[in-house]
Every structure is written in structure tokens, then in C-alpha cells.
Structure 1
Amino acid sequence: MYVGVVLKSKTRLTDKIYTYKVLEKYEKLELLGRRVIVPFGLGNKKRIGLVVESYNSINSDFKVKTFLEVIDDSPIISKEMLEIAKFMKEEYLSDFSSAIRTVLPPVDIVRINEYYVYTDSKKEGFFKEAKSKDEIIKSGISEEDFLKLIEDGIITVKYDLKTNVSRNLVTYYEFLNKDGIQNRAFTQKKIIDYIESNKIVERKKILEVFPSSSSSIKALIERSNIKVIVKEELRRLVDKNPSISRKTLKDYQKNVIDEIQRSSFEKPFLIHGVTGSGKTEIYLSLSESVIDSGKKVIILVPEISLTPQTIKRFQERFDKVAVYHSKLSFSEKFDQWRLIKENKVDIVIGTRSAIFSPFKDLGLIIIDEEHELSFISDKNPKYDALDIAKFRMNYNNAKLILGSATPRISSYYKALKGDYRLFTLKNRATGFSLPSVEMVDMRIELMEKNYSMISKRLKEEIENSLRSKKQVILFINKRGHTSFIFCRKCGYILKCEACDSSMTYHKNKDISICHFCGRTKEKPIICPSCGSKFIKEFGAGTERLEEIVKEEFPYANVARMDRDTMIRKNSYTKIYEDMKNHKINILIGTQMLSKGFDFEKVNLVGIVSSDISLNIPDYRANERTFQLLTQVAGRSGRFGEGKVILQTYQPENIVLQSAKNQDYESFFNYEIKIREKLNFPPFYNIILLRVMNEKRIKTFDKALEITKLLGRELGNKAEINGPNPSVVERINNWYRFNIIIKTNEYLDDVKKVISEKIIENESFTKGEFRLYYMINPLSFY
């Protein structure tokens, strides 16, 4: 019997399936999905691999090595997870090792320690305890004799695996007797009585009830009055005991639920509902039905900022909920994974990686805010959680629900074509109307000598909201204090020394930061170019807006929510709780607050600069702008009348006008015509190939070589553009040239050429060059 093994690898040279012979003692085991220790390379170095295939026989002219040992008592991943890894490799041109690593449990084996023991303990030996090879050789045994002892079976090799996961061990005390406790030992008596009444008590609880009682506990243990029990307990991040909170469903919500439950539609369902239309209550009801049938549910949310509110809603209805997102510690992730694997939860809520949750009986997948780009990974392995969800839907015969007030252009297009089943919700569940949106032309503000980020109209409405004890959200999709440092005399701009990009000034740290490579510089007092003192910060971000708001409204409690402030695990939860408890009057933030927040006191949203995302060099710029503005506007007036002030320098722009009117259909009809005319998704697929090198001319020459190769191999099967410099040509001292490939029905042919002729060609991927590639990339920076 033989198996195919994939090794943990960082290079394409070893990113393949290696064949090993199976030891006779393992032949009856189900080896697929188990980790094994294998000899690898000329030196037979011990490596860890995962069994991904098995064969009864092979046709081979070379000698096949035998793997050494099976690590796992049972498969750690299912056949479904292996199939997902293979799908990712083919679909996204991923390397196999990265794809496998993504579906494995979140635990990393740091190293393998070899040690040797005597096989027959009755025989006299040179050593009695387990020793390493080096220790044995140093004791006087020659390497030749050492190898002979192994060959003869006198000593056996063992492996000790070191991991980076800490186990959550909890200490309990169990009552045994009261023998020997003296009358004056009052604390001991109280403790033993307490443990006896509860039979078994956690150590932490005893120390809470009886502070400074460690010596008394020690005495009870030594006298055998109590027994120490240490248990491994998985960390639960969601409280139990739900309150079974339910909201009365509207007729339109009931209709959607009934249609989905009755439907045998074997494709995704798209719920296009305005902000506040009650999509979450639909998710809750569908989840309850699926769980009652004995199946499991995965719910994906785009940002961790959504997690506190979403968890709370599901916690009120269900008691077996796991949470999975990037802010968890390694050990917390592993415990959540085990809760799912061991069938101890019914629902997992998390960000995109939660789609790999190892449920066996998956019945429902929900992707909330499906338009969000955070569901797409642009690092190895590159994948779209929506595609993985479709794969799991088909594999498990499960149902897939996509929900959004502003669906992806491609999703809505598929719904209109009939590839998805479309449900449209046009009303808010609370019965209140969508907020009124007022557009402010900032060009007029400038003519009227108002140079502030806040227009007169927005300032007036903020004052009205604060006066009526309401809450305000101010949105600007740029973090930091100012956009750049600029000399008004000579035009000098403070740039990063390693990137072709200006540096962003962060006033709270009094430092300029490159948002591409992370390098920092002090803010210059005089211009490094001309020596002028007329050097000043220009532009503005969240930090500067916060500064202005605190100056204008000194009596208000102001908080900021961006990547610079949300650095701790519980930062999002604190903001959520403070907003919920009305401790914050004005919340300032980036796109983090454009979704998910649902607060009854928020009656005003100010969109400070609606033009920023319109001008990025990306075919999705219009789509992202419309989505952001519509979503953030939807935070207002969810439980009453609401107002949105939209500040812009381009009031006539059709994207902004559609967002003002909250008219998705008119925006879609406008945008889909542009996409079709310019051969953009969903009509064509775009593949980005980026060549990188520390020398500009070498980068261009190699990119040109690849472009010519693609032209020869693909002919008329694809439209090839480039090579051209990336939007930011140099990052961290590496020059970057892009090749853009557009294709439709020949996507598989294009991927095959890229894989075989470029990715697997060492001259393009090894040594001084780096190659980045992605299908339908997130950006062209």
C-alpha cells in the first residue's frame, strides 16, 4: 500500500505530492487526512507531511521510501477538507502546501525531536533512559554501531512533537473525607464543608469564596481530605443560557423564510434587503430550523467589528455557538476548532476563515454583507470565501444564503440571470423609512470661506442631534491625521525612502508613517529641500477629524474607530458597548463602522468626504464607493427618523447621486454597461501577474519576457496588457511591473499556461525575482 504526502513547504520546488510506502502495521488504518513523519531528501531529514491520497499499487522505476510514523490517532481533517484544498489549488493557482495549511487545524508543529529507547527492556544496554542521537554518540558508541543497533531492532526511534498551542488546564477539588481536621482549623473546616456540599469545585471558585486560603487547601490535599483533579477544558467564547429572544416577524420576512425552506433550488439565495430590513432575523429563523433538523450552520461576517453584535443576537437564541476570527489567540482558535470538530456546537460565527469549519453535517451557510472584499484573501492561499461556500453547499447538499443591501455587481448579475434565487426586501423591519440624504457641495463652502472639514450644514445638524440627546456617526475613509507633509515654498513632499508614496502624518504619535511598508519618520521642522519653515501637513484623516470635532463640540464624548485605535482584542466590543449604553455622543471612523452597527439613538450620519474612494485606480471604484456610502448612511434612523449629510466636491456624479437616492438598481444598470463595454467582471475574468525585483530595468525586462511568452502561448484566447508600472511602482525597495490578462471562456487554458510555463518556471520565480499573481485581484497597487 502507498500514500501521497504533501509536506509543509515554502518553495514551489517541493510543492508536490510525494509517494511513500506504508508500513505493514499501518495498512489497515484510514490514513487520509492524518499527519505522518517521513524521511525526505538525500539526508533523509525528518519532515511532517499530510496524507492526501492512497494507492494499492504504483508504477515506478525508482525506489520508494517508507514513511516512519503516524502522528495522529485519527484523521485530523476530513475528505471534504482535502477536496477543498485541491479545489483551491486548481481554482486560484494556489500552491498545495498553502491550501492544505488553510484547512488544517490552527496548530503548528514547531519541531520534531528524535530520541531513542531500548526495544527490549530486559536486555542490558548502554543507556537506560531515552536519549538523543548526539547523546548516544558522545557516550562512546560509534555511528556504525549505532546504526547497526537500529537495524537489528535493539533500539527504536521515537518522536516528540513540540507545538505552539497551550492547553487550557483547569484544577478542581473533589471531597473525600473530614479525617484529621483539627477543631481550631476554622478555614479548613469551612473549605471542606463547601467542597462537600458541592462534591467537586473549581480551584478558582474556592479562592474567590475564601481569599488567601492556599495554605489551608495545601493541608487538605496532604491529609487526603480532598482529591486534585486537573481537566483540559476548551475555551468557550460565548456564554451559555440563551434568553430565546425573538422578534415578531413581518409578513415579507415569513415569505422569504418559507420560500427558502420549501425550495429545492440547488443554487445560492441572494437576499437584497435595504439596511435595517431584518435580514438577521431571517438568518436566525433559518438557522433554528436547520439545527432542529440535526444539521449545522456557518455564518460569515466581514469584519470583527460586526462580531459582538452578531454574536449577541445568536447567543440570545442558541447556546452552542463558536466564534472564529483573526483576533483570537492561537490557543483560543484551536479550542474553537475542537469545539466544532468534536460536534459540541451547532453554529460557528466568524470572518472568512470560518468557512473552513470542520462540520460533518453542514446544512446552512450564511454570508452576511456578501459584497465585502474582506471575504477575499489576496495572500497565499488566495481564495474567495463565496466560492468555498458554493463548493461546500454542493458537497453537503446544504443551502447558501447571501445577504446585502448593496450586493456585488457580479452577484446581482447572476441573480438576474437565474444563477441565484433573488429576494428583494424594500422596507425596514422597524417600520421607519430610510433616512433622508442631503448633499452638501463643498465647493460652495470653500467659496464662502469655510475651510473646515465640517460644512455649516453638518455642524448645524450635529448640534441638533446632541441637543436632543441623540448620537452621531461621522465617516471618512482615511485614517491618520493628514494625507502628507508639504512645503508651500518649493513643493517638497515628505515621501517614504523605500516606496513611491507620500507618508501619512499621525499626530497622536507625532510621526509620519508609510502605509505600504510601515517605515516611520519624524515630521521635519524645516524643509529638507529648501530650508523653508513653510512646511506643513495637508489633507485629513480620522485623527484630524477627531481633533476638529473635539474643538467644535468640547462638551461631547467623542470616540474614534479605525485600524490605529482598534488594536486590542476587545476594542470593538468596548466601542459597541459604549455606543449601546450612550456613553459616546459622536463616533468617528473608517469603513469599519459602515456596516453592522445598529443603535437606536443614532439619528445622524455625516459622510465627511464621499469622493476619496471614487478616485482610486480600480475597476471596482464606483462599486466600492456606492456600497460604502449606502452602508454607512444605513446606520442612521433605524429606530426613528434619520438624516444623512453627504459632503462632496462632485455633486453631479451619478454614483453619488445613486447613493444619495439609495437606488441600487439605477447604479447597477449604469455600472453593468461600463463593465460590459470594457471587458471587466462579471463578463471577463482579470488575471494580474506582477513581477518584482530590486532593479527597475531587470523588472521591466523580465515582465516583458513573460508578456511575450503569454502572447505566443495564448494567441487570441486572451487580451494581454502591459507590462506597465504598478500604481505604486516601488514598495520596500522592490520595483513592480504589472501584466493584466483578460479572458472569458478560455480561463482554464490561461491558468494552465500560467501554471506550467510561468509559475513552475524557476527563472521567473526563483532567486532575485518575485512573482505575484491573482485572479480578479482586489487592487492593482
Structure 2
Amino acid sequence: MTVDNDKYLDNGIQYAEVALPLPLDLQRYVAAPTEHRLQPTYTYIIPSHFSALAQVGCRVIAPFGNSTREGVIVSRPSKPNLPDTSIQLKKITDCLDEKPTFSSSMLQLTHWMAEYYLSSWGEALMATVPGAVRSQQKQTYKLKAGPEAVAEFGSRAKLQRQILDLLQEEGKLTRTQISRRLRKAESALRAPLAKLLGQDLIMVMAKIRPKSQTQYETVIDLAQPLEVTQAEAQQLKNAPKQVEVLKFLTNQEVNLPILQSLLTRQVRCNLSTLKSLEKKKLIRLRSQQIVRNPLSLESVPTTEPLKLNEAQAHALTAINRVIEDGLVTTFLLHGVTGSGKTEVYMQAITKILSLGRSAIVLVPEISLTPQTVSRFVGRFGQQVAVLHSRLSDGERYDQWQRIREGKTQIVVGARSAVFAPLNNLGLIVIDEEHETSYKQETSPRYNAREVAIKRAEIQGCVVILGSATPSLESYYRAEQQTYQLLSIPNRVSTIEMPTVKVVDMRRELERGNRTIFSKPMHSGIVDRLQKREQVILFLNRRGHSSYVFCRECGYVERCQDCDVSMTFHFDSKQLLCHHCAQERPTVDQCPACGSSYIRYFGLGTEKVEQEVIKIFPHARVKRMDADSTSGKDGHQRILDAFREQQIDILIGTQMIAKGLDFPNVTLVGVITADTSLNLPDFRSGERTFNLLTQVGGRSGRSQSGGEVIIQTYLPTHDSIKTAQHHDYVGFYQREIGYRQDLRYPPFTYVATVLLRGLEEKEVIETAHYLSEVFVRFQSDAFPKIEIRGPVPAPLSKIKNRYRWHFLLRHTDNRKLRDYLKQTLSHYAGYRSRQIDLIVDIDPVSTL
């Protein structure tokens, strides 16, 4: 039915379509007109005093239900497009931007993201802006009704009555404060608070302020020429502290202006001394913006472009030709570890800068960022900005503002840096493009690689995907000539690839070796220590022991909320769940049978560290995992010490497996290569090959050569055999055949649908209902959709929530997404608020 909206064409009234960061409402999605299918967006009236400010792309505060939300104006229609003329439109309450935060190209990119990944447009928009830039709300609740109304409420709803009594007693409280007073979870308060608001018994007040903002500090400068100041100081004999300040400021070694905080510390003076000098017009006090810069530019040596070998030069020539021609192209740069891919990136960026354009460089792990940033800062200096999650809010805010204002031309960072608001973007580099950390785990569940390619298409620029172990999807696209393949088959100069030895741990056990180190591994470590060379030991499992076991009755300590075994951490003497972070003290007796025969089984990095220290007591040993690098600069401190050869043996998880370059490392030992091979995921073989190749690539990055020793119980597995011979193409050919036979990506597109909730019975019932909906639509409009499930997820319970899932496949990505939109819109009318539904398009894991 078409609605006549002419009644809204009143003179002077202006409208805005606002995208709010709310979960996608699939019922509204299907009901909306085709041209407005991307819901939810909401129509608001623009008050006249915001008329000039409320531009498309600006952030605004708008009322929504009983609260207010930060949203983004995505259009300003001449009249609202409403399904019902009885709807009473609300007004925007505040404008947060003087100029638009979101450009037209970013609106276009986020529109695509929302459509592709089945999120709301508002969620996609907010994912592009660092949390430090967004506003934050403090909501407080207070009584609206009088004492009589509260008394009349009675005790028919116990929790609501408790809230009313509490607010009557204390005035106004936040939800967190109410939660603490009543000892109830905040989630349990949502429904009763909403009911009290609906009955007009209480009211909510929202105070909105920016999470971070520009920081200013007072600086001090001389108000008179140097000679005049020195002469005046001679006349201040009765004010010795003022004289001391002036002498300090006129010292030739002091850089002016100087921070007031620094001056008062150096001279030990107070503000009244400075005010007296200002009154005498001898100094000036003024406010100056302070840039919170995470980069230590002074400590990074300047570097010049290196001479490229033939393969590097060929790759750069192909890239520069496309840049000069202004073509939109995606390159897959396949170069072995240590082949000099980063130098190709930097020289391509030099070309981009010469044309007045800018570049983004993405790295997959925070641990890579400091080393990568140092290389780019050494080449490009203050043109580099950095964005990643370990920056403080203030640092992230200032870096983002620098980028937005055009004060930097290069951004280096992790996944979300793909959205950096650079002007005239010309190049996006994605290093280690195969890495799963480029996939966002919360809505919108985007893959930064795919977003980068779409952004390049919208803004007319080049993408370089670099890896020693490209994802199968990327290499297949290169074979199909969707991407342009460039290869660097050898390491730089005459440095050879490390030799790789595979040790069958079954044979070691037969020979009586029950330690975690095979004989070749032990001998290799001894040899390197004698030569004063460095060793990296890799194990992709942190903690000490992977489970605690009673040898009397078989009891295993498991997390009560996650149904997985608890990991023993020696440092804290605690059992820890790596999924929900629940901690529990270790036990001396079995909780089930009372036996004292408690044993710790399995390996973790803590246990490897203990064994190394015991066997090699004179070696300097350090562990690098999520537990040992929890501080802001935890990664950097360890890597700096290793680079300066203050550490002989570095033990770590996958954060040491990629991108790090230490010339003195001549041995890499993989404690067990089998950890990820047995996971119930079709990518487990690819993930194992990638890890072994990448971690092995840390060895032999100098003329000294290198060796990799891989310990395994599956020495004949294809992933291990091909990694031993640095044979990516051989691995690809075997794996791509397996994928084609079993109809996995890149030959199909995959989506997972996960249901999770507190009540197992309700989760199962909902899963079976959704299964019926899937089957009904499958037989109707989408006969070629493959549906697997519902079944319990491999991790069937996490954080006290039971998990069931579906896996859906189709050869056409658009049809798969259309099918999901149609079916899930019907499920939306049935679903319980107690059940979460999570849709993941192109998942990187099916666990």
C-alpha cells in the first residue's frame, strides 16, 4: 500500500533519515519499500536551529524509545517515507559534528557492508569510527510518580517494587548503581525498568559527552626579547623565585614555549610566581593543543630505499604501472618469508605519495604493529599515523583527528584501520592477508580484506594483498585472474630458506624419550646457545597444563559455564577458562571421589618455559603470550629485548609466528604441530600449513642460515609434508581439490547461523523451529541451498550459554544472503528475547 505523505510537506519543516546502531530488524527489512530495504533507518524532524549543522554524514543524538542514541544522518529527504501517516515524528536533540564525520564514499562503503554482512547500517557506520571518537551516555533513573502512586503499586511485581522503593529512597541512580544495590545482573533489570517507564512511574535522563576530546595544556614563552628579559631579571632581587624562572627560560638549551607542568617541576615554583611575571609582561601563558603521539620518532633511524632484486623490481613495476594509469586493481603478492615484500610496499607508497595520494597498511596482529610502524616511520617520518586497539583513548582520538584533517598520508594499523578517513586514498596494503584476525567477531562481522577491496572499488585505488601463504580463496581468485598474481620466489640477497626437519614423536617415545623435546630439538638448542645465536620455540597454547585429571575416577576439571576443560596456570596457581575467563583455585583432592591422585596433562607455554629453564639453566628465557603481554607496551618490551639479544630463547604462541624479523634467530622449534590439525573445521589443514610456514620463516634471516624443527605425531599429513618443503603451490593443489570435492569455499559461499541461550531446551526448540523455516523456503524459492544442522556447535556451551548452529552453502553469494533475509524475517516473529541469533557471512571458523 502506498502512503500519501504530502501532509508532511509543511513549510519550514526539514527531515533527516538517521541510521542508528541497532541490530538489524529483519521484519522491518522485508516490509520496507525496495529503495529503503536497508533498515533500520529512522525519520526525524530537524529543529530549525540545527538546520545548517545537520548535514548528511554528520553524527546526531536522537530519541529512540525511552532513551537517546547516537546516529548518523544518511539522507535529508524533502518528505518522509513512512508506512503509516499516524506516526508522530520526533526531533533530533543534538548535532555532534560541525562538519560531516562520514564522507559520501564512507556512506557508500558502510551501506554495502550492512547489505553484505546482514547488519544494520548504523552498526556498520559506527564500526568505522574508533570508540574514542564516539560519544558516551550516562543514563540515570528517577521517580516520576508521586508517593501515592508508588504506594498504590503494591507488590504485584517484586523487582519493579524494589526499584521504586530504591529510587524513592535515593533520588536518582544509574542502572549499574541499581544493579549493585539490589544485587541483580544489569541484564535482569532491562525488562522491569522498561515496564516502569511504560507505566510513567519513572523517567530516564541522559547526559551525553564525548568519550575523548582534544587535550590542551598551558605553555609558557618569553614576552620580551632575550636581552630585555635578562636586564629585567637583574631588577627582581626581592623575588628570587621569579629570577630563577627567568634564568631557566633564558637558558639557550631550553626549547620555548615550554609546558607549564614541566617548568614548575624543574624550577619548583607555583602558579602565583608565574602569574606575577605575566602581570609584569615578562612571560606569556597560553593554552596549546597537546598531541598524544604514540610514535617515538626520535628513536627511529632514517632509512633509504633498498635496491630491489629482479623479482621485487618486476612486482613493483607492475604495481606502479597500474598506479600511474589510475586503474582499480587488486594484486596478490605471493612472496616467501623474508623475500622483501615490505620493501615493495614502501616503494609503491613512495609512488603514491609523489602523486599526492595516501595509503593504508594493515597488519594482522598488534604484536606486528610496533616493528612494522618503525619501518614505515624510518622511511616516511611524520607522514605516518598508527591506529590499533592498544592505544589509549586519547592517543586514538588524536591520531584519528590527524588523519581526518589531512596531516598524515600513511596509516599503519590493525583491522579497523581499513576505515581510516584519509584524503585522496590511492593504495591499501594488507600484509599477511590470509590471517583470520582480519575478520571482526561482533556485528558487523566484516572481513577487512573484502572491505578494503570494496573501498578501493569505490574510491578508485589499488590493493596489494601480501602473504607467504595466501588464503586459498585469494590464490584461487588470482588463478581465475580476478586478482593479478605477482611472485617473489626467493629470499632477498643470497639468503637461503631454512632447512626443515620433521621429527616423528612416536619414534621418540619408542626410544624411551618422554620429555617434550626430541633429541634433534635438544641438540639444536644446545648448539645455538654455544654459538650465541637465538632460538624461538612455538606452541599455540598458553598456560601450563591443558587439563587437570583424576587418575582414580577420570574426573576432569571443567568450566561450569563453558563445558570445556580448565587450563592450569602455574604463575597464578589458578585454573582458568580461556573462553569466559572464569578462575578457580587448584585442587589437591578430586571433587568427585576425594582421591589425591591429581595429575596435570597437556602442554602450554608456561610448562615449556619451566622445562627450558630446568634443562638450560644458564639460558636467558622469556615467554610471549596473552598472559605475559597484557600491559600496553607488553609486546614491544619483549620484542625490543629479543632484538637487543638480551633473550636467548623466546617461547610463544602465534603472536611470534608472523612478520617478525630477527637476523640472529637460527633455530625455530615447533613443540607440537598437531594442535590445530584435529579441529572440526574445514580450514584446519590450511591453518596448520600457514602457521608452520610462518613460524618457520622467522629462522635464518641472515647469512648464518637457519633451521626449523617440527615435532609431530602425524609426519605424513599433507599440511606438514608441504610445509617441510616450503611448497605452497603443492599444498594449494592438494587442498583445492579437497575443497572442490566437498563443495567448500572458494567453490561455494558459506554462512553460519548460531543460536545461543541460557536454557538448553529453549535453544533446541528454537533451532528445530528455524530448521522448519529453512526447509520450507528451501523447497520453494531456493532449491539449491544446502543446509547442515541444526546440531550442537563444537564448543557447545560458552559463558553459560548453550550453542546450536547451522551451516548453509550456495554457489551464488547474493542468493544465499537473500535466502537468509527471507527466512530469518519469518523467524523474527517467533524468536524469544532469551535466544541470541548470530549470522556470520563468510565465517573463518565454524567452531
TM-score if structure 1 supplies the norm length?
0.90
1:190 shift after superposition: 4.4
**8 Å Cα contact 2:543/2:607 also seen in 1:** yes
Partner of 2:773: 709
1:25 shift after superposition: 5.3
Partner deviation per Cα, 1:35-90 (whole Å, 9 max, x = no partner): 2343444x7x6544320112123455345444344332111221122122211111
**8 Å Cα contact 1:92/1:383 also seen in 2:** yes
Structure 1 counterpart of 2:367, from 299, 305, 314: 305
In the aligned structure 1, how far is the partner of 2:667 from the partner of 2:81?
A: 71
Matched, 1:109 2:135: yes
Structure 2 counterpart of 1:7, from 11, 20, 34: 20
- Distance change in 2, residues 1:700/1:69 (3 Å): closer
1:753 shift after superposition: 3.4
Partner of 1:88: 113
- Distance change in 2, residues 1:763/1:433 (3 Å): same
In the aligned structure 2, how far is the partner of 1:21 from the partner of 1:736?
A: 42
1:707 shift after superposition: 1.2
Q: After the TM superposition, which of the residue ranges 556-565 and 2-11 deviates more from structure 2?
A: 2-11
Matched, 1:238 2:295: yes
- Distance change in 2, residues 1:764/1:99 (3 Å): farther
1:736 shift after superposition: 1.2
- Distance change in 2, residues 1:195/1:765 (3 Å): farther
In the aligned structure 2, how far is the partner of 1:475 from the partner of 1:371?
A: 19
Partner of 1:120: none
- Distance change in 2, residues 1:711/1:283 (3 Å): same
1:756 shift after superposition: 3.9
Q: Map 1:555-574; keep pairs closer than 5 Å.
A: 555-574=618-637
Structure 2 counterpart of 1:19, from 40, 43, 61: 43
Q: After the TM superposition, which of the residue ranges 281-290 and 25-34 deviates more from structure 2?
A: 25-34
Partner of 1:463: 526
SS at match of 2:638: helix
1:216 shift after superposition: 4.5
Partner deviation per Cα, 1:670-713 (whole Å, 9 max, x = no partner): 00001011110111111111112323232222111111211111
SS at match of 1:650: coil
Partner of 1:432: 495
In the aligned structure 1, how far is the partner of 2:786 from the partner of 2:379?
A: 52
- Distance change in 2, residues 1:764/1:170 (3 Å): farther
- Distance change in 2, residues 1:515/1:53 (3 Å): same
In the aligned structure 1, how far is the partner of 2:50 from the partner of 2:389?
A: 37
How many residue pairs are counted as aligned between the two chains?
735
Which amino acid is 2:17 matched to? G
Partner deviation per Cα, 1:290-322 (whole Å, 9 max, x = no partner): 112111110000011111111111111112111
Q: After the TM superposition, which of the residue ranges 365-374 and 688-697 deviates more from structure 2?
A: 688-697
- Distance change in 2, residues 1:760/1:237 (3 Å): farther
Partner deviation per Cα, 1:448-473 (whole Å, 9 max, x = no partner): 22111111110111010010010000
In the aligned structure 2, how far is the partner of 1:38 from the partner of 1:504?
A: 46
Partner of 2:817: 751
**8 Å Cα contact 2:364/2:438 also seen in 1:** yes
Matched, 1:412 2:475: yes
SS at match of 1:672: helix
Partner of 1:140: none
Partner of 1:724: 791
Structure 2 counterpart of 1:36, from 57, 60, 72: 60
Q: Map 1:466-481; keep pairs closer than 5 Å.
A: 466-481=529-544
In the aligned structure 1, how far is the partner of 2:48 from the partner of 2:261?
A: 49
Partner of 1:682: 746
1:29 shift after superposition: 5.6
**8 Å Cα contact 1:85/1:96 also seen in 2:** yes
Q: Map 1:642-721; keep pairs closer than 5 Å.
A: 642-715=706-779, 716-721=783-788
Partner deviation per Cα, 1:190-232 (whole Å, 9 max, x = no partner): 4324535666333355356545676754542454432211112
Matched, 1:220 2:277: yes
Matched, 1:588 2:588: no
SS at match of 1:227: strand
Partner deviation per Cα, 1:141-174 (whole Å, 9 max, x = no partner): xxxxxxxxxxxxxxxxx99742221542222112
Matched, 1:262 2:286: no
In the aligned structure 2, how far is the partner of 1:554 from the partner of 1:250?
A: 43
In the aligned structure 2, how far is the partner of 1:413 from the partner of 1:276?
A: 23
Partner of 2:223: 176
In the aligned structure 2, how far is the partner of 1:653 from the partner of 1:95?
A: 43
In the aligned structure 2, how far is the partner of 1:187 from the partner of 1:25?
A: 52
- Distance change in 2, residues 1:438/1:71 (3 Å): closer
In the aligned structure 2, how far is the partner of 1:546 from the partner of 1:2?
A: 63
Q: After the TM superposition, which of the residue ranges 164-173 and 253-262 deviates more from structure 2?
A: 164-173
SS at match of 2:677: helix
In the aligned structure 2, how far is the partner of 1:202 from the partner of 1:49?
A: 38
Which amino acid is 1:770 matched to? D
In the aligned structure 2, how far is the partner of 1:761 from the partner of 1:607?
A: 47
**8 Å Cα contact 2:545/2:604 also seen in 1:** yes
In the aligned structure 1, how far is the partner of 2:739 from the partner of 2:811?
A: 13
Matched, 1:610 2:658: no
The alignment's C-alpha RMSD in Å is: 2.4
> For structure 1, which runs of at least 5 residues remain unmatched after alignment?
115-157
Matched, 1:288 2:288: no
1:652 shift after superposition: 1.3
Partner deviation per Cα, 1:479-527 (whole Å, 9 max, x = no partner): 1101100111221111111222111111111111111222122221111
- Distance change in 2, residues 1:47/1:392 (3 Å): closer
Q: Map 1:14-413; keep pairs closer than 5 Å.
A: 16-24=40-48, 26-27=50-51, 31-41=55-65, 46-58=68-80, 60=82, 61-62=85-86, 63-106=88-131, 107-111=133-137, 161-177=208-224, 178=229, 182-183=236-237, 185-195=239-249, 200-207=257-264, 210=267, 216-217=273-274, 219-221=276-278, 223-240=280-297, 243-263=302-322, 264=325, 266-319=328-381, 320-413=383-476
1:764 shift after superposition: 5.1
- Distance change in 2, residues 1:105/1:621 (3 Å): closer
- Distance change in 2, residues 1:678/1:174 (3 Å): same
**8 Å Cα contact 1:430/1:639 also seen in 2:** no
In the aligned structure 1, how far is the partner of 2:816 from the partner of 2:474?
A: 24
TM-score if structure 2 supplies the norm length?
0.83
In the aligned structure 2, how far is the partner of 1:418 from the partner of 1:11?
A: 35
